């Protein structure tokens, strides 16, 4: 309840005819978690700036091969296409999970969430395969400025996906224990934003890093 207090000066004036000035001393009520979505969006925007800086670094250093391997020698576009497919599929399956959540159907929701996690894990597996392949060929982050910035940018994205999967597993356990409560729904929608945001960043990665790199 918001308590309303008469303005002190108006009270001192004491004139009954004048309209007293009111103001609210308490913060008005917010439904619990009412601002979570906006807050999480703001976090995503700050994360966006992190990626922007990493993209800028890659843009500046991406051509400094130090007589080492260039993107043309290293990048395997069919593998990247497969990777992109995994992430795209995980986006739509997360969408299906959200649709089941809106219908309050727990088991199908958990199933779609698990499938999303598996696609995410497949994406990570392919990326790690690519990384180990490159490192075994001698294209380590220490080799050139291009490779340092490449591993930092793509690795940061991969790390985000890793934490997304951990979050997904946590939410599967949470929903199994407590059901689709309001708090769990809110968390699922936050993870949805996070997951789709990572997909948006990946669009930048495969366009700017892989395709432009092979084109260069």
Partner 1 sequence: MSTDSHTSHAIAPKTGHDDGHGHGDGHPVSTFKGYMTGFVLSVILTAIPFWLVMSGALDSKTATAVAILAIGAVQIVVHMIYFLHMTPSSEGGWTLMALIFTVVMVVITLTGSLWVMYHLNTNMMPMDPSQLP
Q: How far is the CB of 186 from partner 1 (least distance, A)?
A: 8
Q: How far is the CB of 162 from partner 1 (least distance, A)?
A: 20
Rounded Cα distance between 84 and 13, Å, is 71
CA 62 to chain centroid, in Å, comes to: 25
Residue pair 148/141 in contact by the 8 Å Cβ criterion: yes
Which residue, 59, 83, 80, 79, is CA-closest to 216? 59
Q: How far is the CB of 82 from partner 1 (least distance, A)?
A: 11
Nearer to partner 1, 34 or 138 (CB): 34
Nearer to partner 1, 140 or 196 (CB): 196
Q: How far is the CB of 210 from partner 1 (least distance, A)?
A: 9
Residue pair 117/163 in contact by the 8 Å Cβ criterion: no
Give the count of residues interacting with partner 1 (CB under 8 A).
Answer: 55
Residue ranges of E strands in 156-207? none
Q: Which of 12, 16, 29, 177 binds partner 1 (CB under 8 A)?
A: 29
Residues 110-169 that bind partner 1 (CB under 8 A): none
Nearer to partner 1, 136 or 215 (CB): 215
Residue pair 184/175 in contact by the 8 Å Cβ criterion: yes
Residues 37-96 that bind partner 1 (CB under 8 A): 37-38, 41-42, 45, 48-49, 52-53, 55-57, 59-60, 77-78, 80-81, 84-85, 88, 91-92, 95-96
Positive or negative CA dihedral for 185, 174, 44, 204? negative
Start-to-end CA distance of the chain, whole Å, equals 64
Q: How far is the CB of 34 from partner 1 (least distance, A)?
A: 6
3-state secondary structure 126-170: HHHHHHHHHHHCCCCCCCCHHHHHHHHHHHHHHHHHHHHHHHHHH
What residues make contact with partner 1 under the rule CB under 8 A? Answer: 1-2, 4, 22, 24, 28-29, 31, 33-38, 41-42, 45, 48-49, 52-53, 55-57, 59-60, 77-78, 80-81, 84-85, 88, 91-92, 95-96, 98-99, 102, 189, 193, 196-197, 199-200, 203-204, 206-208, 211-212, 214-215
């Amino acid at each position: 309840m918001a308590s309303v207090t008469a303005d002190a000066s108006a009270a001192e004036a004491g004139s009954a005819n004048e309209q007293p000035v009111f103001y609210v001393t308490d913060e008005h009520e917010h439904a619990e978690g009412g601002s979570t979505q906006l807050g999480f969006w703001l976090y995503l925007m700050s994360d966006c700036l992190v990626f922007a800086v990493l993209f800028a670094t890659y843009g500046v250093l991406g051509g400094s091969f130090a007589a080492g391997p260039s993107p043309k020698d290293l990048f395997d576009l069919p593998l990247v296409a497969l990777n992109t497919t995994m992430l795209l599929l995980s986006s739509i399956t997360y969408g299906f999970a959200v649709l089941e959540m809106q219908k309050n159907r727990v088991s199908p929701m958990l199933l779609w969430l698990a499938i999303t996690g598996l696609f995410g894990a497949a994406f990570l597996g392919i990326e790690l395969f690519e990384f180990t392949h490159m490192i075994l060929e001698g294209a380590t982050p220490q080799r050139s400025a291009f490779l340092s910035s490449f591993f930092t940018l793509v690795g940061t994205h991969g790390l985000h996906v890793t934490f997304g999967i951990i979050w997904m597993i946590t939410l599967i356990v949470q929903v199994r224990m407590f059901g689709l409560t309001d708090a769990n729904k809110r968390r699922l929608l936050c993870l949805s934003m996070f997951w789709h945001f990572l997909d948006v960043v990946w669009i930048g990665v495969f366009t700017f890093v892989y395709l432009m790199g092979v084109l260069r």
